[in-house]
Amino acid sequence: MLQGVNTKLTSGASTVTGAERLRARMAEQRPVHIISAHSPLSAILAEEAGFDGIWASGFELSALYGLPDVSLISMAQHLDMVRAMVDQSSLPIVADIDTGFGNAINVIHAVRQYERAGAAAVVIEDKVFPKVTSLIADGRQELVRMEEFVGKVRASVATRSDPNFLVIARTEALIAGLGEAEALARAAAYEAAGADMILIHSKQKTPDEVESFVRAWDGNAPVVIVPTAYPQMNEPRIRALEKIGMVIYANHAIRAAVTAMKDVFARIRADGGIHHIDRDIVPVEEIFRLQKMEVVKRNEARFLL
């Protein structure tokens, strides 16, 4: 359980894992701030911005492919992107694995693969498979039986080989309109099954619903929040609740990318060229820096004899 996060990190490994780094950061600071990413480039930018970790977002990856977030992206596609981000960033990665790609047997396979890929944590939600993205208006929001999801949590905990690897159980009870009592009952059952943290999600436009849940939560597992729908949930408000261990900014990378591209593309068309926009976007040299072209040049000088 995460309440043991202040204990010494697992020893014997030659390198510190992402899971160890995430737990260490949570021991130093709560809450930790996790930002979405959908590519190695966005992961690099997240690290340079000073975030504590990366949310490997299923929503963002779906959008990158131009697809709705309804379980169309495969585990293999998501894993490939997680591996690519791990390769380019030292930040711990919290992998959004939706419903776990099936039942508890699928979850066993998924947790094993994500841990091997270098993820620090997985978040599994208690919806049916295939899921529908949470914030869509009038979306189909169906939950599995509490007992079935308890089995998924237990399978996740039993499968991980590194005890530092976090299993975060996400309840969609508020999203499904089932109320706080159901959300609390599910959260308690998931913690009892071994979940390290509880993610509570809401699509209300104010933080009231989430704040009420957090105040009522009497478990030991820290709470994870995703304040996409209720952006007024700022740092002072979060800290006042005391029980929140992680904040995930879940789709801002893809929204920022779309905003910027739409603006730049429209201006190029309106101006009939790039003569005005060129001064307002990063120079190509900044892309070279992010691509580490200086390393390539040094290696060329050293090895291309």
Can 69 be counted among the known catalytic residues?
A: yes
Which residue of the set 69, 96, 98, 196 is catalytic? 69
Rounded Cα gap, residues 133 and 139, in angstroms:
8
Rounded Cα gap, residues 45 and 301, in angstroms:
28
DSSP readout, the chain? -GGGTTSPPPPS-SS--HHHHHHHHHHHSSSEEEEEESSHHHHHHHHHHT-SEEEE-HHHHHHHTT--SSS-S-HHHHHHHHHHHHHH--S-EEEE-TT-SSSHHHHHHHHHHHHHHT-SEEEEE-BPSSP--TTSTT----B--HHHHHHHHHHHHHH-SSTTSEEEEEE-TTTTT--HHHHHHHHHHHHHTT-SEEEE----SSTHHHHHHHHH--SSSPEEE-TTS-TT--HHHHHHH--EEEEEE-SHHHHHHHHHHHHHHHHHHHHTSSTTGGGGS--HHHHHHHTTHHHHHHHHHHH--
Residue in 210, 70, 185 with CA at minimum distance from that of residue 127: 70
Q: How many CB atoms lie within 10 A of CB 108?
A: 16
Q: What does DSSP say about strands 197-200 and 166-171: parallel, antiparallel, or unpaired?
A: parallel
Estimate to the nearest angstrom the gap between the alpha carbon of 193 and the chain centroid. 22
The β-bridge partners of 127 are 143
**Which residues belong to the active site?**
69
